[in-house]
Structure formats: structure tokens, C-alpha cells
Amino acid sequence: MGAEIISGIQMRKEILAELEQDVAAMKAEYGQVPGLVTILVGENPASVSYVTLKVQTALSLGFHEVQDNQPADISEQGLLALIEKYNNDPAIHGILVQLPLPKHINEEAVINAISPDKDVDGFHPVNLGKMVIGGDNVRYLPCTPAGIQEMIVRSGTETEGAEVVVVGRSNIVGKPIAVMMGQKGRGANSTVTMVHTRTKDLDAHCRRADILIVAAGVPGLVKPEWIKPGATVIDVGVNRVGVSEETGKAILCGDVDFDQAREIAGKITPVPGGVGPMTIAMLMKNTVKSARWHREQEGLTRTGK
Ligand code: NAD
């Protein structure tokens, strides 16, 4: 029997429906909606399509959405000044700067310039630090790892005491999801191993995994025989492996050979239609959370608490 397919498209739909209700409730309660600014520098086609999807999703939820497109030759100073403007704009609760940025701009400086209170991407060192401390300290989880964890939970996969193997150690996927799965609490409490390019016996580690999370960016890296029968496989990889003659669009695949892996795994995410849609849903969730938090702060200030 083939694995159960964990559909990111279906889960995104459920999460967005929940958020739509939150936004309507906020509007009714205090006449304000979450505000998100998406800053796009230049016209990198992949970035344009990611930003367009984020803008459309924000608008469909009834957000106040500002799409701020800047030329590729904007100076670093200019971009930092723009961020400062939105840091001080009370109608904006989330600031998203689409990465990668042109070479002449220091990405770290840009990430650090975003107020941690409005860092809905969850990339600011303050928010990453809070994520590592865990518990009530957590503010904004980085969106892709948050989406991965949500998929694991919503698919009914047991995480308590589970062996989790994470392939990849990037700052935006591998490292944070490894920390998150090892934390105390719901959807975590797992025993985590993080593997990477220098790992010996990669296959042996993968074979032990009850939950295998693959974020390497290498098509077909994980062979079907590396998968423990019945495991939950989360394939984060998005690899462009050609262009469809029919549609002219990129042909995408993950890091796991889906057709073979689904015969062995218990549950598996497809590419496309898996983790990708969840990342956007989590960005929206963080923005709603930020809007509520900012509102609470205003209330506290007004009542002098
Ligand atoms: P990255 O290149 O920054 O990191 C890749 C990691 O994989 C590295 O830590 C490296 O050590 C490890 N790795 C690479 N080749 C390996 C090998 N042969 N054996 C063992 N480990 C190996 O990439 P990233 O930003 O973490 O992204 C990883 C993949 O996930 C990419 O395909 C990217 O497009 C995709 N991605 C998808 C989403 C989404 O929303 N669906 C979001 C972020 C990244």
C-alpha cells in the first residue's frame, strides 16, 4: 500500500480559513487588520513569483498589504532607511524583505535592521535566540520550519520520543527545525540527529528515522532504501530540473525520489504541493500574531500598565 500523502495545499487551506476568522474578529473588535509590507529588490523571477503569492495571500485574508518594489541598484543605506520607516509605521505589523538580495547589500545587516517585533520571517537573531530558549519565550518561528512542524502535527505523526533525522544544517531550515523538534512540548519531544555534507554513513542515519526531514537541495539524494518502512518523510527540497514543453513552467522535484519513496514511507509530502504552501501560511500566521501583540502593547500603554 502506498504512503499517505501529506498535502501542504490542503493544510494551507485549513490554516488560511482559521486566519480569515481571526482577521474578521480583529476587525470587528477594534477596527484594525494585520498589516504586512513585502519589500522586493530587483526582478529575480523566482523572487517575483514568491512575493506575488505572498501579496495575493495577504490580500485574500483581508490584510493591509503594502507591496514595496525597489530597483536592483538601491543602496544598502536606502534599504535600511526604508526598513526603519516601516519599523515606525503603526499600520505595519510584519516586514518581509524577499531574499536573496543583490550582492552589494549585506543581508545580515538588513535582517538585523528589521525590528524583532515585526520580524514575521523569524530570521532576526533575537527571535532565533528566543526560539532556542523555547517555551513562552518563543515569538516568531521561522516560517519553513514552522510549516514543517505543523505538517507533522496535523498529519497525526507521533513526535514524542521519535527519532528525527534532519538532512541539512542551513540557518533557515535545517538548524531551526532540528532545535524545534528537540524542544519540550507538543509536536516536539523528539530525539534529533542533524546530518550534513560531512556526515559519515548518511544512509545509516536516515534508516533510523521515524521522521525524516530532508532539506539539502539535491535532487534524488535520499534513496528509497534509506527510508525506514512506515516513516514520515518531509521533503523540503525544491529543485528545478527542467522546463515543461507544454506549459513553459519549471519542472520541480524534491530531494527524495517521491514515486519510489511512497511505496515504503508511511506518510510523505509531495514536491510541489508539500512544504512550500505551508511556508506562506506560517508567514500569514506570524503576521496575525504580530498584529495581536502590537494591539495588546497599545492597550497596556493606554491603561498605564
Ligand atoms: P542550503 O543550501 O543553505 O543548505 C543545504 C544543506 O544541506 C547544507 O547544510 C548541506 O550541508 C546539506 N547538504 C547538501 N548536500 C548534501 C549531501 N549531499 N549530503 C548531506 N547533506 C547535504 O539550503 P536551504 O536553504 O536549507 O534549502 C534546502 C532546500 O530546501 C533547497 O532545495 C531549497 O530550495 C528548499 N527550500 C524550500 C523551502 C520551502 O518553502 N519549500 C524553503 C526553504 C528552502
3-state secondary structure of 1: coil
130 is catalytic: no
154 and 207 co-located in one domain: yes
- From the list 277, 293, 290, the residue with the least C-alpha distance to 94 is 290
Q: Of 97, 115, 133, which marks where a domain is finished?
A: 115
Residue 99 lies in a domain: yes
Q: Whose CA is nearest to atom 12 of ligand 1?
A: 168
Our answer to whether residue 54 is catalytic in this structure is yes
Strands 191-195 and 163-167: parallel
Cα(77) to ligand 1 centroid in Å equals 30
Which CATH number fits the domain that encloses residue 272? Answer: 3.40.50.720
Residue with cell 535592521: 113
Catalytic status, residue 118: no
**Which residue range(s) make up the domain with 245?**
141-276
Q: How many domains is the chain partitioned into structurally?
A: 2
Task: Kindly report, residue by residue over 241-254, the tens digit of the pLDDT.
Answer: 999 999 998 899 99
pLDDT at 304: 62
From 172, 238, 283, give the residue whose CB has the most ligand 1 atoms within 8 Å, as the site to mutate: 238
Q: Is the pTM of this model over 0.85?
A: yes
For 126, the enclosing helix (H) or strand (E) is helix 125-133
Give residue-wise pLDDT tens across range 30-67. Answer: 899 999 999 999 999 989 999 999 999 999 999 999 99
Q: Are strands 191-195 and 94-97 parallel, antiparallel or unpaired?
A: unpaired
Count other Cβ atoms within 10 Å, centred on residue 179: 18
Q: Ligand 1: list residues with CB < 6 Å.
A: 144, 167-170, 172-174, 196-197, 202, 215-218, 221, 236-239, 275-276, 279
Residue 57 is assigned to a structural domain of this protein: yes
51 domain residue, yes or no: yes
Share of the chain above pLDDT 70, in %: 98
